[in-house]
Amino acid sequence: MPLRKLALLCLISAVQSQISVAQTGSGRMVTQPSERVAGLSYADIADLADAAPLVAQARIGNIIKLKPAQAGTVPAGYQRVYVEANVANLIRGEGGISPTVRYLYDAPLDARGKMPKLKKAQVILFARPGGRPGEIQLVARDAQIVASPAETERVKAILSELVAVDAPPRIIGLGDAFHVAGTIAGEGETQIFLRTENGDPVSLSILRRPGQQPRWAVALGEIVDEAARPPAPGSLLWYRLACGLPNALPARSVRALSPQDAELARADYQMVLNALGPCGRTRTAR
C-alpha cells in the first residue's frame, strides 16, 4: 500500500473516532456538513459563524469515499467522504490554519444515489480545530457553503459584527419586567430586562401615548436614553433579539406586578416580538 494512502487511512480512522464522540456546546451530536441549502438567511449564516472559531475559504481537492466499515453511522441518503481542501483565505481564526485542511463530509445523494461534484468546488468552511495539525471538524452538517462572491462578503460582514468590541451579547432569557402607568388613560411605560450570556445589561423599553403608535427601543447599558432605538433588521442586534427572545413573557418576570400591569407588560412584550418579526432560520440539517 502506498505510504500516502496508508497515512490517509490512519487519519480517517482518527477523525472518525473524534466524530463518534464530538458534541456541540448545546449537547447535540456534531455531524459533518451536507450540501448548502439555497437561500440561507442572515440568521442561518450568523448561527454558523457564531459557533465557528475557524472560518475559511477553501478549494476542495482530494476526495475519498469511505467504506461502510470505515464510515460508521451515516444518515440515510448520504455518503461519508474524506476531504482534503486547500485554504485560499482564513476569514476567522486566531491561531491560524494549515494551508491544507482535512475533514469528513456527509455528501448528499441524489435520487439515483449519486454524489454531487465536489472536486475543485470553492467553499466556505465553518469549523473548529481537530485533534491533529491540519484536521478540522465542521460545526454542523451544513457548515460548508458555496463561496460565491456575494456569500463571502456576507460572511465577512457578519463576522465583523460578531468580533466587534461593542458586539451585542447572546440572550439567554428574560429578567424582571416593570410597568408604570401614566397620568392619563392609555399612557404608560414598560421596561423589560434581558439576561445575557456575559452578564452585560440589555433592556427593552416600550412607551405608550394616547393617540400614538407604541414606541420601543433596546438599550445596551444600564441607562436607557433618548438615543435608544429598535435594531435595524438584518443586524447582529436584531438577530440576537429575534432569534434569542422567548415567545412569551414568563410568569417570574411579572411576579412583582399587579395583574393589570402584568397584562400590559405582556402585551408590550408581544408588540416587540411582532415588530422584530420572525428569526428567519431555514436550515434543517444541523
Instruction: Provide the pLDDT for residue 31.
Output: 33
- pLDDT tens for each residue of 183-220: 888 889 999 999 999 999 999 999 999 989 999 999 99
User: Is the pLDDT higher at 23 or at 13?
Assistant: 13
Q: How far is CA 226 from CA 64, 145, 207, 219, 238, in A?
A: 59, 41, 12, 10, 19
Three-state DSSP class for 16? Answer: helix
Contact, 101 vs 87, CB < 8 A? yes
DSSP-based three-state secondary structure for 265: helix
For every residue of 141-208, which 3-state class applies, written as one string?
Answer: CCCEEECCHHHHHHHHHHHHHHHCCCCCCCEEEEEEEEEEECCCCCCEEEEEEEEECCCCCEEEEEEE
Using DSSP bridges, classify how beta strands 136-138 and 100-108 pair: parallel, antiparallel or unpaired: unpaired
Mean pLDDT over 151-162 rounds to 96
Give the per-residue pLDDT at 278: 96
Cα 130–chain centre separation? 20
Residue 138, strand partner residues: 127
Q: Where are the domains of the chain?
A: 3-163, 171-276
CA distance 165 to 229: 20
Q: 3-163 sits in which CATH class?
A: mainly beta
* Distance, first Cα to last Cα, the chain: 37
**Amino acid sitting at position 108:** P
Contact 142, 106 (CB under 8 A): no
Closest CA to 63 of 105, 11, 19: 105
- Percentage, residues of the chain above pLDDT 90: 65
Say how far apart CA 263 and CA 40 lie, in whole Å: 37
Contact 163, 182 (CB under 8 A): no
Mean pLDDT value across residues 76-103: 93
- Does residue 171 surpass a pLDDT of 80? yes
Residue in the block written with cell 474524506: 82
Nearest to 206 by CA among 238, 182, 184: 182
Q: What pTM does this model have?
A: 0.83
Q: What cell does 41 get? A: 438567511
Q: Distance (Å, rounded) from C-alpha 269 to C-alpha 245? A: 10
* Predicted pLDDT of residue 160: 96
Could you give the CA distance from residue 72 to residue 15 in angstroms, rounded to a whole number? 11
Digit-coded pLDDT (tens) for 231-282: 999 999 999 999 999 999 999 999 999 999 999 999 999 999 999 999 999 9
Higher pLDDT, 73 or 195: 195
